[in-house]
Amino acid sequence: MDLIKCVVIDDEPLAVDVLVSFIERVPFLSLEATCSNGLDAMAVLQRRKVDLIFTDIEMPDFSGIEMIKSLEVKPLFIFTTAYAHYAVEGFSLNAVDYLMKPIPFHRFLKAVTRAQNLLCKHNLLEIPSQTVDVQPEFIFVKSEYENLKINLCDIRYVEGLKDYIKIYTKSNKPILTLSSLLKFEEKLGNRHFMRVHRSFIVSLRHIHSVQRNRIVIDDKRIPIGSNYKEEFVKIIKC
């Protein structure tokens, strides 16, 4: 299978390290170079064939948006930034994706899988025989006398109650289903979710804030169990 050749552009060394570590975890990506500014990146792009660019936006002298606009032949590109207000302009340039820092691996994986599909669609990449497993966007759960379809993006958090669990979504009424929290955690099988307490699973994308040993989602304060705290802190700091 052909590898997707990547370049990382960011003036923050820690941000570069995170992206490099993510690239190393994905079998179909190959890191060609890292650059601390857009001018150095343009020199690299003139010398090498690159399929995909990861670029910060706010950089000294030459922003990521300015760099992309200046390229006559544009590889696919993904913006990585801490600032949401650039999103509209970023997508107007046909960015593959727009990743907000700190970037969780599941969002990175979704973005690069989209880039892989685009390259395959345009016959620029050999269709791989094996790719990283992409999780479904919904699940079905039995509640009372029906099987309910729940979009994963709608789940805020899940609470375990002995033999039952409560699934809290954007709806005001939680969904009650017969299951253990462990079995439901396995069913989710998705990096958007994390067990943070013996009685709670949370959706990482819906966390509003973290206050000491509490996670705030909507108006709910969810405790962080001592056995789960270390792993949770690693995730939110990645």
pLDDT tens track for 5-59: 999 999 999 999 999 999 999 989 999 999 999 889 998 998 889 999 999 998 8
43-54 burial, b for 16+ CB within 10 Å, e for fewer?
A: ebbeeeebbbbb
CA–CA distances in Å: residue 136 to residues 150, 174, 190 = 11, 22, 8
Amino acid identity of residue 217, one-letter, is I
The CATH classification number of 4-121 equals 3.40.50.2300
Reported CATH class of domain 138-237: mainly beta
Instruction: With cut-offs at 50, 70 and 90, classify the pLDDT of residue 135.
Output: low
Same fold, 4-121 and 138-237: no
Instruction: With cut-offs at 50, 70 and 90, classify the pLDDT of residue 145.
Output: confident
Distance of CA 105 to the CA centre of its chain: 5
Q: Which two tokens stand for residue 221?
A: 């304060």
User: What would the pLDDT profile of 70-97 be if each residue is shown by its tens digit?
Assistant: 888 889 999 998 877 777 776 678 888 8
CA–CA distances in Å: residue 25 to residues 18, 86, 136 = 11, 28, 21
Distance of CA 44 to the CA centre of its chain: 27
Domain definitions of the chain by residue range: 4-121, 138-237
Contact 44, 32 (CB under 8 A): yes
Q: Closest Cα partner for 237 from 13, 10, 24, 14? A: 14
Q: Residues 194, 117, 111, 190: what is their CA dihedral angle, to the nearest 10 degrees?
A: 0
Q: Which contiguous run of DSSP H or E holds residue 89?
A: helix 87-92
